[in-house]
Amino acid sequence: MAILENAFGQKCVIQNLSSTLERPDMGYLSNAPVPESTCTTISLSWKGCCWVIENQSRYSIWLADRALLAGAESPLETGIDIYLARQWYCKWTVIDLSSPDKTNVFLAGNGYWYSQAKNKNILLKDGDIIYAAERKWCLCCFQQSFMEQPNNLPLSTAGGQMCLVFEVSQDEEHVVLSMELDGQVINLNERVHHYLLVTLARLKLEDHRNGHDASSCGWVCMEELCRMMGTDASHINIQIYRVRKQVSESFFSHLELPPIIERRSGSLRLGAWGFKIIHGSNVEGNMQLS
């Protein structure tokens, strides 16, 4: 079983001996369809001892920084980034390369779908693609009301305050996020959009230290945020969607949580959450709501 994850956090589970992936159509972002001449198709095949990627398009693709020419193939390694084009949304990251035998997709007792291979369960989410039985499937979840961690009890905001805990690597390349309440912890792991959250937390912390009123702390205009993040508004909006979706799916649906990100005309900020930022091995800041 090979598992890849795209730039939007959606997974592709390949259980067949050979399957193909195509470059995503981002016309809904640019209001223009992707021309057929720019379509890129790759094939992933199990060769008996490893997974191999083959470039079946007329254009080069990239394995990290190495170009794979049209018609060429290469063995895959876990953790490598596959770029079907130079655009950020054309990236797939290889997160698992188990052999394709003895795999299945099942609905667990906690209400979530998983793919299993070699006693390892991979959480699947709405919109994930599954190649199985020589066909392509798309997982559509109409209702999910249980959090991923089955050994955690249902959380309630009545007994304490939610706290976001950011663990940022020294080189700023990795951000692991967890949520804490009364000694209970939900690990949200590492995601690209967590860097957006920690950036908003830092802005809020800076304004607080500068003596700003709580009602004005942390607000930043979209244009300035795009400059700080080195991206555009469309990408920021996609990350905001991913943040809200991940947080909402981590708790039971009946909980009334404060918004993780607040917005007003042209600006946004981190919502009414306490937080702690750990940079490397040092605590950068710790802000709790009164």
Q: Which SS3 state, helix, strand or coil, does residue 272 take?
A: coil
Please classify residue 160 by burial: count the beta carbons closer than 10 Å to its beta carbon, then call 0-12 exposed, 13-18 middle and 19+ buried.
middle
* Exposure class string for 200-238: b at 16+ Cβ within 10 A, else e: bbbbbbebeeeeeeeeebbbbebeebbeeeeeeeebbeb
pLDDT reading at 10 higher than 90 = no
User: 30-44, 158-172, 192-206: lowest mean pLDDT where?
Assistant: 30-44
Domains of the chain as residue ranges with CATH: 2-138 (2.60.200.20), 163-287 (no CATH)
pLDDT digits (tens, 9 = 90+) for 186-238: 888 899 999 999 999 999 999 888 888 888 889 999 999 999 999 999 999 99
pLDDT digits (tens, 9 = 90+) for 71-110: 899 999 888 999 888 777 788 898 888 877 655 777 765 5
* Identity at 275, one-letter amino acid code: F
pLDDT reading at 147 higher than 50 = no
Q: Are 140 and 120 in contact (CB under 8 A)?
A: no
DSSP string, 131-195: EETTEEEE---S---S-S-TTSPPP-TTSS--EEEEEE-TTSS-EEEEEEETTEEEEEEE-TTHH
pLDDT band (50, 70, 90) for residue 141:
low
